[in-house]
Amino acid sequence: MNRYLTGFLLAAGLLLLFSGCIAAQDVLTQKDLSGKLQKQYEKAAAYNRQGDLEAALKELDGLLEKTPNLIDALLLRAAIHYDRRDYTAARTDYQTAIGLSAGYEPLAWYQLGLTCQKMEDYAGAADALEHFIASNPKRQELRARAEHHLENARFAEKAVKHPKPFHPAPLSDAVNTAESEYLPALSADGDYMIFTRRVNGQEDFFISEKTDTGWATATPAEQLNTPLNEGAHAISADGRTLVYTGCNPRAGFGGCDLFYATRDGDTWTTPQRLGPAINTPAWEGQPSLSADGRSLYFASERKGGYGGRDIWVSYLGAKGWGDPVNLGDSINTAGNDECPFIHADGQTLYFCSDGWPGMGDDDLFIARREGKVWRKAQNLGYPLNTPADDGTLSVSLDGKTGYFARETGSKGRKFDIFSFPLFEDARPKPVTFVQGHVKDQTNDEPVEAVASLSDPETNEVLSAFRTDKNGEFLICLPAGRNYALHVEADGYLFFSEHFELKEMKPLDDPFLLEIKLSPALPSATEAEPAPPVVLRNLFFATGSAELRPESGEELRRLKSLLDKNPDLKIRINGHTDNVGDEQANLTLSEARAKAVYDWLIANGIDAQRLRFQGFGESRPIDANDTPEGRQRNRRTEFEVIRN
């Protein structure tokens, strides 16, 4: 039931109070009725209070056939049409009532404005809302709301003249059914989607996996679903951590709290409630995890915000999730700002809001972070945004595809999940990912290891992830910087790789790595020595044996390996490509190997455990006829020695 006009119409069963004089002598009000007509009006009003809108309409239709100038009946019927989303009929009745007496009930102008807005008649909406504001309403809250809707109408009138490219398509019936499906969340590789389906009022998680032919038939996430409602969730980049909203007013910190569960292989752990730093007696929900798993964005009604619901962020520290920080007035308004989705680039936030100028109800917005500062949110435009509630948006890792849920059909609250090509202005920075499978070099069995990502320019560790029991991991790599990847496990030599992503360019192909770790101390019975470990994050000045500062993290990890395995002895090998003089290459390769040897000794490693040797261009591992091949051949490595 429309909470503004209908409340006035039906309060205490009384007719509307006059806020102006009736301009025409033939206008009838409820006060003028008697006998059967009065009873018929009261019957319609009673049906309306009970929520039986069809019965109320039937009575009002009959009444208005007899008394077409009964203004109270017109206003009540208009409000019912609005609630039923029959906006054309609602507009007709509001216009008729205003035509009978423009000053009888100024609130009719307000409702006419909202109705025109729903019909995308933004000029009509602005005109009606201006009339309402000019009536100088006494309720300041309502006046402020009208001014906001007027701002929306003016924004929308401009937006429809400059539409954005938008071509949504529903997902297949493997996902969408006769029930409502919404809140899609995808793993970084795009192969795993979890969403909410509502069946008979019960909200549960469903999971679909992408196959060669499309999305597989979704199945319930039985290990996560409970008799309560679950939804409004976020899945980590690797698909192994789920944070979601669970509502149970009899337990926890508030009516709705945030929960998390983790997956190892195909098994989910029992969901656990996040602690009091996140959950409060107020409402918390709609989480979004950063790609590195260390930032949690969510909406909350807690104290300290700007209005209704605000978007907050909490950072994961050594002792758990820290106190949330409000994202500030570049994002949050006096209205409701919610449904955050932080893209894997870590700098692009999508969210919905009814506080910023928009097309009507909740619109979708984008905000970009520069350094530590969020820039002012921008509306994603028409027709992605409509006069209706436009829900949530999630964006694929490559930034090319958006996923959202939208109402289907003109009646009833039925939602389906759609995808669409995201237009350029709304795309995040390019992001790819590295997906690894870690195995034992000697037997091909999975190895549980730690994969860490660092910035070679600063030697800062950006993120660290533990593989699952199958030895698998996935880490996102936003473009704009270079990365050092290290994979380590107790009792094994480490793995090193380097990714050049400093140039902003499309990243269509992920990095898929089959990583085989060799035991740090091979058994005496092993016939084959462990293959050399290439130090991909070791860098020298051009044509020189001078170690560059970017080599610091690699050198420290090599020292750590030797510290943890005091019986380990290694030889450091230097190699070059075939460009230049052969003898000069041999000399350079040996000097570079010795530079690593000298650094280790200077940092406390016993020289008796170390050797070094240069091989020049004599041992290529790739062809020397391409720049990429020559780069791979220019390398420093180490190998285990038995004596």
**Could you tell me where in the chain the CATH 2.120.10.30 domains are found?**
181-344+390-426
The pLDDT-based confidence of 223 (bands split at 50, 70, 90) is confident
Cα 77 from chain centroid? 41
Q: How many CB atoms lie within 10 A of CB 101?
A: 19
Strand partners, 517: 440
CA distance 68 to 403: 48
> 20: which 2 tokens?
């102006």
- Those residues with Cβ within 8 angstroms of residue 313's Cβ, 6 or more apart along the chain or in another chain: 295, 296, 297, 298, 324, 325, 327
Does residue 250 surpass a pLDDT of 70?
no
The residue whose two tokens read 């979704």 is 218
147 or 388, higher pLDDT: 147
Instruction: Say what the alpha-carbon torsion angle 105, 111, 113, 114 is, to the nearest 10 degrees.
Output: 170
Q: What CA–CA distance (Å, rounded) separates 87 from 94? A: 10
From 342, 349, 378, 508, select the one nearest 430 (Cα to Cα).
Answer: 508
Does position 483 have pLDDT exceeding 90, yes or no? Answer: yes
- pLDDT tens digit sequence for 115-148: 999 999 999 999 999 999 999 998 999 999 999 9
Range from 11-15, 24-28, 119-123, 528-532 that averages highest in pLDDT: 119-123
**Any idea which architecture 430-525 has in CATH?**
Sandwich (2.60)
Provide the 3-class DSSP secondary structure of residue 546.
coil
Task: Tell me what percent of the residues of the chain surpass a pLDDT of 90.
Answer: 72
Q: Is 16 helix (H, G, I), strand (E, B) or coil?
A: coil
Which of 1-10, 323-332, 352-361, 399-408 shows the lowest mean pLDDT across its residues?
1-10
* Interval 433-482: pLDDT, tens: 999 999 999 999 999 999 999 999 998 998 899 998 899 999 999 888 89
pLDDT in the model for residue 106: 92
Q: What is the model's pLDDT at position 6? A: 46
Query: Which tens digits make up the pLDDT trace of 68-78?
Result: 999 999 999 99
CATH architecture of 532-643: 2-Layer Sandwich (3.30)
CB-based contacts of 27, cutoff 8 Å, min separation 6: 69, 71, 100, 101, 104
CA distance 184 to 197: 10
Q: Is residue 500 scored above 80 in pLDDT?
A: yes
pLDDT score for 504: 58
Contact yes or no for 219/205 (Cβ under 8 A): no
Using the structure block, give the residue that is written with the tokens 């704009």: 480
User: DSSP state, 345?
Assistant: T
For a pLDDT cut of 70, what percent of the chain falls above it?
Answer: 93
Nearest to 196 by CA among 151, 231, 146: 231
Intervals of CATH 3.30.1330.60 along the chain: 532-643
Cβ contacts of 266 within 8 Å, gap of 6 or more: none
Other beta carbons within 10 angstroms of residue 135's beta carbon come to 19
53: phi then psi, degrees, rounded to nearest 5: -70, -35
| 3-class secondary structure, 102 | coil
**DSSP strand pairing (533-534 vs 635-640):** antiparallel
Phi, psi of 625 (to 5 degrees): -100, 5
Instruction: Report how far apart, in Å, the C-alpha atoms of 54 and of each of 69, 77, 79, 88, 90 are.
Output: 21, 11, 13, 17, 14
Residues 64/56, Cβ–Cβ less than 8 Å: no
378 DSSP β-pair partners: 366
Q: How far apart are CA 133 and CA 106, in angstroms?
A: 9
Over residues 375-397, the mean pLDDT reads 91
d(CA 437, CA 471): 5
Task: Give yes or no for a contact between 265 and 320, defined as CB atoms under 8 angstroms apart.
Answer: no
The mean predicted confidence, pLDDT, of the chain is 90
- The whole-number pLDDT of residue 227 equals 80
Question: Around Cβ 514, how many Cβ atoms within 10 Å?
Answer: 8
> Which CATH number applies to 181-344+390-426: 2.120.10.30, 2.30.42.10, 3.40.50.300, 3.40.250.10?
2.120.10.30
Helical pair 87-100 and 107-118, crossing angle rounded to 10 deg: 150
What residues are paired with 451 via a beta bridge?
465, 487
pLDDT (mean) for 4-12: 39
Between CA 187 and CA 208, with CA 248 as vertex, the angle to 5 degrees is 25
